[in-house]
Amino acid sequence: MADSRIPTGDGVSPSVPPVNGGPKGTPLLQLRGVSKSFGAVQALSNVDLEVHAGEVVGLVGDNGAGKSTLIKTIAGVGPADTGEFFVEGQPVKITSPQISSRLGIETVYQDLALCDNLDVVANLFLGREEREYLRSLNETDMEKRTLQVLRTLDVKLPSVRTVVASLSGGQRQSIAVAKTILRNAKVVLLDEPTAALGVAQTRQVLNLIRRLREQGLGVIVISHNLADVFEVVDHVTVLRLGKKVGTFDIKSTTAEQIVAAITGAEFGAILQETNGPSEGI
């Protein structure tokens, strides 16, 4: 059996308009005109979004802005009513989580969907276990692949045979993300990955997001913590009342401008003075 040990180591002035941009080339994932309603409630209205390889996009907005609904349309949990989806430039229809996963889109929700009573290896391969002849589990190969993916992501654990219940919040988040890598994800959606984590654990998760970018994946991060957003994302897309306010280049934007976009405070009037009417504001 492989060595299961892993070395331990450890006043508002929204003057910058939203910009469309990102690395050149075809986006890994692109959404056009996505809308979703629940009865008389219009949760999303004509939303566009895109993420490129090696790019982290922050998705922010107040409660009820439509962030989770948008993520669920991408994940296939709540398919969109209207709109177009493209993966690597090819039109696709996402109507179920299975289809989303086959397209290389993996989602890590806040509850992480881990089994506390199982060890790290069992969690990573849960439902996708590798078997030898006579259908016995191929524990050796699964352990080797677990060690490989965790080292790729620079995840620090005492052992891959550690029961998940004994891991910290940051380590658990890392295990949930590692599952997406084993499934050959192209795009990873992270729903509030640093919620309820301490300072050290938050740092661990932010470093993990950076490593996903270095691996060439596209990452979409939902977060209410703008300090975390500004530390790791390349662009920020703001939703308000189910509509896209705009996409901002993080290098030329301040937290005050993002807050103004989220709340609508003085934002529309200033943009109209500088750029004319802006859709969704």
CA R_g for the chain: 20
The answer regarding whether domain 29-274 maps to CATH 3.40.50.2000 reads no
pLDDT in the model for residue 187: 97
CA-wise closest residue to 70 among 21, 33, 112: 33
What is the rounded distance in angstroms from the CA atom of residue 173 to the CA atom of residue 181?
A: 13
Report which of residues 258 and 135 the model is more confident about. 258
The amino acid that residue 219 corresponds to is V
Confidence of residue 264 (pLDDT cuts 50, 70, 90): confident
pLDDT in the model for residue 111: 85
Judged against a pLDDT cut of 80, whether residue 146 lies above it is answered with yes
Place of tokens 């934002």: 267
Write out pLDDT tens, residues 86-104: 999 999 999 999 999 999 9
| Domain limits, the chain | 29-274
Confidence of residue 127 (pLDDT cuts 50, 70, 90): confident
